[in-house]
């Protein structure tokens, strides 16, 4: 009787083996092809422009000034949002605050407010200036929760025994954080900062309302002013270059850290700081943030809602809500189907996975107007899908696929290797291991990524304006239609309802009902 050699079984069946399932490879190539469509269109259109038009386009829009503004706004927002996000996450994780679950939900809730609603609230005050600083503040408020979520999840896994050792060696709190804590949270913070930077690069609503000349506004103005798709495409190429540098920087940071994947919880969680001084400072810091990021815009919206001169069109409000939820859910489902193969391949560090992930991130940085142009051209070749909900949902899936891939990849990479190896020794093939072991363990991260796509799709504006079926209105388009003609009171009901609906996935992502004392983010 032949004995079973576990080492040979592991070598043959390990899911981390260099041999990848052909089905997974095909799925990865399909995802890469799909995300490459807008980049292919962008390059094709850009190559059609002649030298004289190229010179006129860049001269007219003062490309150097726009480039500096775009980079400065992206870097400045990412830096401030990162500092705020780390500070808020540390306060929630380390200080015994009263009503911790409620506070946790509130600091994440600004993620549900679109940047153009923040800009709308800013302009509604009537006495605050437009311009770069206003855009910097508005974009910081709407993107800080991305860093807070990422940092808070990682703070929960920091081993406090290492902090104790550092303090016994004479390191002060600042040095301990820099040399012990930060290296353990660096990957997650870098991923959150990357999302912030890419969000700013692709933002259209806030910069347009506040009068800041970035590439997204220049692209929109070029297309609307002349309907010249080639000129608009050539202006989008610098965004691709800038995004490539941002993605490379985040990738380099991630490669310098190792992922802990043990199935045994050996980390020691630090006890809460219960001093009154720490509570006062943390509560003051969070209250100031919430006052500007949540209380102020909601108060202005409610005031506009109450003082509106006309009654609410309930039928239009309900129809816009149903339309928003249905097409956003469909887009999130498409994104999930595309994200799974890319995330699995990226977690295994295969070349196909890495290239697919980078392509996904590049597309994420493209403004919605460019995605809309690409799919309008695609739809003209296939009239059966043009101006359909399926095409609009497909646009959402590609635009926000990076948010699903990032969360899914991280969750899959953290699946304990010993559990998949045990499943392999029991004769399970790669497909069964993924379905029975990997996917159930990674499910919370996969769900969080899908919810982020759903949340982002509800707020998307430019792509929706270009690709929606005739007569199809979402909450975002209704807000824009009324705001564009300065009917702020009429826009308020749609903005408030959008925030209420978006608060549901925000709650599910942040899960304030979990008990921090039991260690669980």
Domain assignment present for residue 4? The answer is no
Q: What is the pLDDT of residue 392?
A: 92
Domain assignment present for residue 3? The answer is no
Q: What is the pLDDT of residue 157?
A: 66
Long-range contacts formed by 464-470: CB under 8 A, 24+ apart: 464/368, 464/392, 465/372, 466/368, 466/369, 466/372, 466/373, 466/375, 466/376, 467/372, 467/375, 467/376, 467/379, 467/387, 467/391, 467/392, 467/395, 468/387, 468/392, 469/387, 469/388, 469/389, 469/392, 470/387
Cα–chain-centroid distance for residue 205?
16
User: Helix 439-459 to helix 488-510 angle, to the nearest 10 degrees?
Assistant: 170
Domain assignment present for residue 194? The answer is yes
Helix (H, G, I), strand (E, B) or coil at 273: strand
**Distance from C-alpha of 182 to C-alpha of 174, rounded to nearest angstrom:** 10
**Distance from C-alpha of 286 to C-alpha of 288, rounded to nearest angstrom:** 5
Tell which residue, 230, 252, 242, has the closest CA to residue 364: 242
Contact 442, 404 (CB under 8 A): no
Domain assignment present for residue 292? The answer is yes
Q: pLDDT 10s per residue in the chain (521 long)?
A: 444 444 444 344 444 444 667 777 887 788 878 877 777 777 777 777 777 767 766 666 677 788 889 999 999 999 999 999 999 988 888 888 888 888 888 898 888 888 888 888 888 777 778 889 999 999 999 999 989 888 887 776 666 666 656 666 666 666 666 666 667 677 778 878 888 988 898 888 889 888 898 888 887 777 666 656 677 777 777 777 777 777 777 666 665 555 444 444 445 556 677 888 888 999 999 999 999 999 988 888 888 888 877 788 888 899 999 999 999 999 999 999 988 888 888 777 777 777 777 778 777 767 777 787 778 777 777 778 888 888 999 999 988 888 888 778 877 777 777 766 676 676 666 767 776 777 777 777 788 888 889 988 998 888 888 888 888 999 988 888 887 776 778 888 888 899 888 888 877 776 644 544 433 33
- Helix (H) / strand (E) element for 429: namely none
Domain assignment present for residue 163? The answer is yes
Domain assignment present for residue 2? The answer is no
Q: What is the pLDDT of residue 17?
A: 42
CA distances from 457 to 193, 229, 427, 474, 507 (A): 20, 24, 41, 11, 17
Q: How many domains does the chain have?
A: 1
Tell which residue, 394, 404, 399, has the closest CA to residue 445: 404
Q: What is the pLDDT of residue 516?
A: 41
Predicted TM-score (pTM) of the model is: 0.76
State which residues form the domain around 415. Answer: 9-518
Residue 68's CATH number: 1.10.3720.10
Q: Which residues are registered as beta bridge partners of 95?
A: 273
Provide DSSP, 54-108. Answer: HHHHHHHTTHHHHHHHHHHHHHHHHHHHHHHHHHHHHHHHHB--TTHHHHHHHHH
Domain assignment present for residue 414? The answer is yes
Domain assignment present for residue 1? The answer is no
């Amino acid at each position: 009787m032949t004995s079973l050699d576990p080492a040979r079984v592991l070598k043959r069946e390990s899911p981390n083996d260099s041999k990848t399932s052909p089905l997974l490879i095909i799925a990865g190539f399909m995802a890469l092809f799909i995300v490459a469509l807008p980049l292919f269109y962008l390059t094709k259109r850009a190559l059609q422009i002649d030298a004289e038009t190229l010179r006129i386009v860049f001269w007219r829009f003062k490309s150097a000034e726009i480039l500096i503004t775009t980079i400065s706004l992206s870097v400045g927002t990412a830096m401030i949002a990162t500092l705020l996000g780390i500070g808020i996450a540390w306060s929630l994780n380390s200080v015994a605050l009263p009503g911790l679950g409620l506070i946790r939900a509130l600091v994440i809730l600004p993620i549900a407010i679109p940047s153009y609603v923040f800009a709308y609230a800013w302009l509604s005050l009537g006495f605050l200036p437009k311009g770069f600083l206003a855009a910097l503040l508005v974009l910081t408020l709407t993107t800080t929760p991305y860093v807070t979520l990422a940092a808070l999840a990682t703070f929960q896994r920091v081993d406090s025994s290492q902090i104790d050792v550092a303090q016994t060696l004479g390191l002060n709190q600042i040095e301990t954080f820099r040399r012990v804590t930060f290296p353990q949270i660096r990957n997650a913070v870098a991923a959150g900062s990357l999302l912030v930077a890419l969000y700013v690069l692709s933002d259209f609503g806030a910069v347009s309302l506040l009068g800041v000349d970035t590439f997204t506004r220049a692209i929109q103005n070029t297309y609307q002013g002349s309907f010249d798709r080639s000129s608009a495409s050539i202006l989008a190429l610098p965004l691709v270059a800038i995004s490539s540098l941002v993605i490379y920087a985040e990738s380099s940071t991630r490669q310098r850290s190792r992922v802990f994947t043990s199935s045994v919880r050996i980390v020691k969680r630090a006890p809460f700081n219960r001093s009154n001084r720490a509570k006062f400072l943390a509560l003051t810091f969070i209250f100031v943030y919430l006052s500007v990021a949540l209380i102020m815009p909601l108060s202005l919206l409610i005031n506009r809602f109450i003082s509106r001169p006309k009654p609410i069109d309930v039928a239009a409000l309900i129809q816009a809500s149903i339309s928003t939820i249905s097409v956003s859910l469909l887009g999130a489902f498409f994104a999930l189907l595309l994200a799974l193969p890319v995330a699995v391949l990226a977690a295994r560090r295969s070349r196909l996975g890495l290239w697919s992930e980078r392509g996904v991130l590049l597309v994420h940085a493209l403004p919605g107007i460019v995605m809309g142009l690409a799919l309008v051209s695609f739809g003209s070749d296939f009239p059966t899908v043009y101006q359909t909900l399926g095409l609009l949902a497909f646009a959402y899936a590609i635009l926000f696929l990076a948010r699903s891939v990032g969360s899914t990849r991280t969750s899959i990479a953290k699946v304990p290797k010993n559990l998949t190896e045990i499943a392999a020794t029991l004769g399970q093939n790669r497909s069964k291991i993924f379905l029975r072991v990997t996917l159930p363990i990674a499910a919370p991260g996969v769900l969080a990524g899908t919810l982020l796509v759903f949340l982002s799709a509800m707020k998307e504006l430019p792509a929706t304006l270009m690709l929606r079926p005739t007569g199809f209105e979402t909450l975002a388009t209704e807000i824009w239609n009324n705001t564009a003609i300065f009917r702020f009171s009429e826009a308020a009901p749609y903005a408030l309802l959008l925030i209420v609906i978006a608060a549901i996935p925000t709650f599910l992502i942040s899960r304030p009902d979990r008990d921090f004392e039991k260690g669980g983010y």
